[in-house]
Amino acid sequence: MDTRSGFAEAVGNTPLIRLKTLSEETGCEILGKAEFMNPGGSVKDRAALWMIAEAEKSGQLLPGGTVVEGTAGNTGIGIAHICNARGYPCIIYMPDNQSPEKIEILETLGAEVRVVPTVPYKDEMNYQKQAGRFAGKPLTAPYGQINSTTQRTGLRITSQRGPKSGDKRTARWTPLSVRSEPAAPSLASRSTLRNKILPYSSFCPTAWGARYTTTSPTAKPL
């Protein structure tokens, strides 16, 4: 019997679904990756689990620590789910243009939701900047989902699909995200004491995140 222990182990390993009509009309095998079957309802569960698991492994996130995120989407729901499962308090900064239902979901998951005015990113009162300032206080440490590129679904899809008959090029599946680019700055150099984390999705400019996309060739896909 295939069982999973807790919420976190249910993240990933979503099925491929053959899209019959499209496959027949195109003459190609069209497969859909059913990421909506993640327990939090979206692909963002993967990034949330990776960030928190890596922060735990590195000592960035300790028992009793708090996770802070600035979000207007599914990343916050994924993080709230994982925090609830692992026993971490979670603080979510969210713009006031989001639906009451989304806020209710986050609060039901145990997150403290701080709704702030909807303003452009350049404004210092932007929800991401407010989250960054809060998480940047003493005894905090930022953590980066930009390094979680091994949790893309591509490698999992190729693993599930398997090589095509007679295609020698697909005999060995290599993660497309493995690159030889500069390593991201050491997290240890960015903080002193570590009992809070802030995903870079709500802290660093996109340009910074776009530069550092190295991954580990030994990482396993979800």
Q: Strand pairing of 16-18 and 141-143?
A: unpaired
Q: Tens-digit pLDDT profile for the chain (222 aa)?
A: 677 777 788 888 888 999 999 999 999 999 998 989 888 888 888 889 998 999 899 888 888 899 999 988 788 999 999 999 999 999 999 999 999 999 999 999 999 999 999 999 999 999 999 998 888 765 444 444 444 444 555 655 666 666 555 554 443 333 333 323 333 334 333 333 333 344 433 333 222 222 222 233 344 445
User: Are residues 67 and 97 in contact, defined by beta-carbon separation less than 8 angstroms?
Assistant: no
Per DSSP, the residues of 133-201 read HHHTSTT-EEE-GGG-GGGSSHHHHHHHH-PPTT-GGGSS---TT----PPPPPGGGG-SS-SEEEEGG
Give the pLDDT confidence score for residue 135 in this predicted structure: 83
What number of other Cβ atoms are within 10 A of residue 35's Cβ? 15
Give the pLDDT confidence score for residue 161 in this predicted structure: 65
Count how many Cα atoms sit within 13 Å of the Cα of residue 186 in the half-sphere of its side chain. 3
149: tokens are: 């590129």
The pTM is what? 0.60
Q: How far is CA 128 from the centre of its chain?
A: 16
User: CA–CA separation, 13 vs 17, rounded Å?
Assistant: 13
Pick the CATH number of 41-150+189-211 from 2.30.110.10, 3.30.70.1070, 1.20.140.10, 3.40.50.1100: 3.40.50.1100
